[in-house]
Amino acid sequence: MHRIQEDNMSILIPDGEIHGQNVDELEGSLKQILEENVRYIAIDLAKVKYIYSRGIGAIIKTQKALKEKSGALYLFNLNQSLQRILMESNIMGYLNCCSSREEIDFELNNTNIGKDDDSLELGLSIEVISKQEKLLILKIAGTIDSEIDVRTLRKTCQEAIQNGYTEVHMDLSDLVYIDDMASMELINLSKQLSSYSGRLKLKATNEIVLDQLGTMGIKGEYIFEK
């Protein structure tokens, strides 16, 4: 992965699909840049055909870290396929996407209308939709990619068991990313519910979320609607 350093901005230029070893390389590059205290990162996606869920996760985590430093991460030169994937996954609004490097420079030079101010806040939202005798229906939105998010999800799962629910339905339609640790919490909840002859059902429509859940073995009987 090629890297260009310009003043206070690092530009990464990946090639091909961001998957497997390429994700490891992307994660390593982003981690190194953060350790160097660079405030702005731009990723040129002109040569990228597809980004798998782990790659999206690396980008989201880095964007959060940069926001804490009053910095920003930008994606630019996205092809139509990538734009479609991000739009259909409802994640476009959470990222700073620009058409070109010139647009990034314009945003940085006009901070009052910068995309780093306009992007939606990343984080976890859990809403109780319905409580019935043995059925709990939840709507989970945003991202689950930090230790705090995972603890919140774990607490929700534990409370469902403690309160005697044997069937839990989770609407993940507005969830844009879930990491491996959070996926494990869903697996653990499913196992606990099964021990009470109960079950966990998930509604997922997001291609990135479905990809991540699938890599953890969450598919088939877990998904009740797509």
Separation of CA 117 from chain center: 19
Return phi, psi of residue 206, to 5°: -75, 125
Share of the chain above pLDDT 70, in %: 93
- 2-118 and 124-225 agree in CATH topology: yes
CA-only gyration radius of the chain, Å: 19
Per domain, the residue ranges of the chain are 2-118, 124-225
Q: Rounded to whole angstroms, how far apart are CA atoms 15 and 137?
A: 42
Q: Would you say 186 and 202 are in contact if contact means Cβ atoms under 8 Å apart?
A: yes
Burial environment of residue 186 by CB neighbours within 10 A (0 to 12, 13 to 18, 19 or more): buried
Q: What is the pLDDT of residue 130?
A: 96
Reported as a single tens digit per residue, the pLDDT across 169-208 is: 999 988 988 988 999 999 999 999 999 899 999 998 888 8
Mean pLDDT over all residues of the chain? 88
CATH code of 124-225, in short, is 3.30.750.24
pLDDT at 222 over 80: no
pLDDT at 125 over 90: yes
DSSP state of 166: S
Q: What is the pLDDT of residue 102?
A: 93
CATH fold of 2-118 reads Transcription Regulator spoIIAA (3.30.750)
Reported as a single tens digit per residue, the pLDDT across 51-69 is: 888 888 899 889 988 988 8
Q: Rounded to whole angstroms, how far apart are CA atoms 36 and 41?
A: 12
